Amino acid sequence: MKFLDEAKVWVKAGDGGDGVIAFRRERFVEYGGPDGGNGGKGGDIIVQAVDGLNTLIDYRYAQHFKARKGGNGAGQDRTGAGSEDVVLKVPVGTQIFAEDKETLLADLDVVGKRVVIALGGDGGFGNAHYKTSTNRAPRRADKGWPGEERWLWLRLKLIADAGLVGLPNAGKSTFLAAVSAARPKIADYPFTTLHPQLGVVRLNASEEFVLADIPGLIEGAHEGAGLGDRFLGHVERCAVLLHLVDGSQPDPAGAWRTVREELIGYGNGLAEKPEVLALNKVDAMTPQARSSRVKALERASGAKVHLISGATGEGVPELLRVLKSAIPVRETT
């Protein structure tokens, strides 16, 4: 299934049904009086987060959603039927923005969470509603109220405990494939990963966490270079970032600085998140290179550097333990 993390949709809630003008006409009832009923309520547009979805591809081709109008009132003081609501099902982690793409209307970050995004119109009053002691035969009935309509932006931000960041070809996809059942495309050219990937890392029968891999960043990504920073939103919700640096390149400290500058340029608190730093591809390094590059990276970052190899598994179990310990314990109800 193709991955899509942003979609624009138009929604229109149902109009309310019309009230009617009617009078009671029965044999042996001399003064029947008004008995026109009210209109029914129009259907709402509801957006609900459901389990089992991880893309907005359903809204790539179907972009217009309209609820039905409420039923009109009828004689004998009968109220029109209310229309059914239209429910748009989206992945957990979907945010709903107004047409300006800046005003956040709702954040559906929990399974089952739902929000009425366009309210159906109320039904109009029939003439029975306007009967008074001084107006015994009103000939007034109202049209139903119009339902709300608007353009919306749906933006998906994946829910993960830890996020992978790094330059292209830092070995992020290889690492994800090694520690989880995810099967991302792996190749020896930049930008093999074109969209985010999720994997569940199981340490044992009772401990696990979700790891997100996003396409690699390059210098100027926050200004649109390469694939840009549009996928960084998928690690905004992560508790910790795993920064992989390619140890086979001569300047790992420079690679670390490049990614850090892009995180700072993107903003939204990414640069302030806890970061675990790992020097990857140590299987392709000599002992002397390991020592010198680890020292250079530690001097630049001021943090402990973990030596790992996603290809051979060296140092990976220890790194996963460090990641798990950095993730806050989820509260259960």
Q: Is 186 annotated as a binding residue?
A: no
Helix axes 172-179, 316-326, angle to 10 degrees: 90
Q: Is 66 annotated as a binding residue?
A: no
- Kindly indicate whether the domain formed by 162-326 is annotated with CATH number 3.30.470.10: no
Cβ-contact 250, 262 below 8 angstroms:
no
Query: Could you tell me how far CA 246 lies from the centroid of its own chain?
Result: 30
Q: Is 91 annotated as a binding residue?
A: no
Q: Is 192 annotated as a binding residue?
A: yes
State the span(s) of the chain assigned CATH 3.40.50.300: 162-326
State the span(s) of the chain assigned CATH 2.70.210.12: 1-156
pTM value? 0.76
User: Where does residue 100 rank: exposed (0-12), middle (13-18), buried (19+ CB within 10 A)?
Assistant: exposed
Query: Under CATH, which number does the domain 1-156 receive?
Result: 2.70.210.12
Q: Is 171 annotated as a binding residue?
A: yes
Give pLDDT tens digits for 136-194.
889 999 999 999 999 999 999 887 888 888 888 888 888 888 888 767 666 555 555 56
pLDDT at 104: 93
135: which residues sit within 8 A by CB, 6+ positions away?
A: none
d(Cα 58, Cα 154) in Å, to the nearest integer? 11
pLDDT at 208: 86
Q: Is the dihedral of CA 223, 172, 302, 240 positive or negative?
A: positive
Give pLDDT tens digits for 235-284.
888 889 999 998 888 888 998 998 898 888 888 888 888 999 999 988 88
